[in-house]
Structure 1
């Protein structure tokens, strides 16, 4: 069960086989797709696609390349579209100084308007930042009182920028360019990203994975990215899928039913025992003070387990390097 948190099914690239693209994604285990608008036309289309397909949600916004043409009328339409069913984010918005197709001033002005919309509607931002990290951080820090949430998509920045984004509460998303042969530097940055703050995305039709470069990308190819994360993190495929699905579900409020609570759960070669909801300790490091989930595992027990149930959940203890009692 995986979620493509950023693609552009509204593009003409998919006009001839959009139904088949979605079917292939479903066959590969993709359960939700967030179609991200990058123009006013694309945002309208994103809303329509969300209405048509059960597994598709919409994000609406204007790419920074188009900032110079954004009018007050367009901003008002974005606000109206944001109230439509299944709109889960504001984006793709942000700053792009690589091509400077719109002036830096106009990009910053428009980005701040989208921040205001996200704040008013309590929606997360899907942020595009290319060669604009300093201004991006300055703006987000200036707006810290709004307690914004969101994701920096198609991350291509430094470790320092990664840390700053995490520190202000944002998620990070890497695309299938993480699989490219010459992406060693990017993989080095990805390795230090905590999986609890990572999302998966294809950015389709762009950035097809290694082995398919030159061809159109699509949500079904998200499995290539999962495989890359397995190699980078040392976690299992099931871990990557569970953790990133939980992250996306939390950020975008997708109301996706996740796994039931577990008495015992594995992380790499260790087994953790989740034996009670009634722990009286108040450990400063305990994750339960912030959330009921750890690496996508639900720690909120339905009831207090019996000793026999705990022993059955452990199974053969010799399979593990260590067994950790928690809760």
Structure 2
């Protein structure tokens, strides 16, 4: 099993223990190292660096940070990405999050910084990891105009949009929210296993009430997808692993 999107850095001092536990069950975890408030990409990188090879990092700029429009910080993150370009598998996560953007100025800040990092991804010939909340259609349209390969992680948009996204060559991320978010389950109904990646978005989106999520719970996603599609667990596991390896060019 491969968790295509998690955040080990948010476990802080517990990260080494959680990573070692995950090694026992998973082939790999793609960790989206993303600039967000006090979670600086350079600090997260140093925390996770000893585990690279099992942990595959991306580097990005979260839209909830982008809404602040701090271009000095954007330049610092961009420089860090350029310095570590050979060690990452994608740019992201980045995108649009209109749930927390309080006004049009903040939304425009998100759009500008989103487009900036999409241009960087094109320059570096890397795919991108997209965070889109209450802005899925607009994020998709911006991705299409930019001409990048994109992974729409933790998708919770409409089933119709999910079909449009995959028909344009971008995989959809199905996370542990499939247990309690109806939109996620509806999206799975119209998608084929070859069109999705499975993820946990740990430590968020726990499928178990009162518990913090962990990447090992990606098993729950595979079980639920298999149930919805009427397929064997092993078939979904095998297909989604191949999808993650292909999209991120993982050396596992």
- TM-score, length-normalised on structure 2? 0.90
Shift of 1:38: 2.6
CA distance in structure 1 between the partners assigned to 2:145 and 2:182 by the alignment? 33
Shift of 1:70: 4.5
CA distance in structure 1 between the partners assigned to 2:196 and 2:137 by the alignment? 21
1:125 to 128, 131, 144: 128
> Which position in structure 2 is the counterpart of 1:60?
59
Shift of 1:243: 0.7
> Which position in structure 1 is the counterpart of 2:73?
74
> Which position in structure 2 is the counterpart of 1:206?
204
2:193 to 179, 192, 195: 195
Q: Structure with the greater relative contact order (CA < 8 A, sep ≥ 6): 1 or 2?
A: 2
Whether the aligned pair in 2 keeps the contact of 1:151 and 1:170 (CA below 8 Å) is: yes
The structure carrying a bigger helix percent of its residues is 2
Could you tell me which runs of 5 or more consecutive residues in structure 2 were left unpaired when the two chains were aligned. Answer: none
Aligned residue runs from structure 1 range 306-325, under 5 A: none
CA 1:170–1:19: 2 relative to 1, 3 Å: same
Larger Rg: 1
> Which position in structure 2 is the counterpart of 1:99?
100
Aligned residues: 245
- Matching of residue 231 in structure 1 with residue 234 in structure 2: no
Shift of 1:187: 1.0
Could you tell me which runs of 5 or more consecutive residues in structure 1 were left unpaired when the two chains were aligned. Answer: 257-327
CA distance in structure 2 between the partners assigned to 1:155 and 1:239 by the alignment? 22
> Which position in structure 2 is the counterpart of 1:89?
90
- Matching of residue 51 in structure 1 with residue 17 in structure 2: no
Give the SS at the match of 1:205.
coil
CA 1:10–1:230: 2 relative to 1, 3 Å: same
Superposition CA RMSD, Å? 1.8
Whether the aligned pair in 1 keeps the contact of 2:158 and 2:183 (CA below 8 Å) is: no
- Matching of residue 37 in structure 1 with residue 38 in structure 2: no
Whether the aligned pair in 1 keeps the contact of 2:8 and 2:19 (CA below 8 Å) is: no
> Which position in structure 2 is the counterpart of 1:317?
none
Shift of 1:150: 1.9
> Which position in structure 2 is the counterpart of 1:139?
142
Deviations 1:56-105 (A, max 9, x none): 11111111111133544433333333342431111110001112157111
- TM-score, length-normalised on structure 1? 0.70
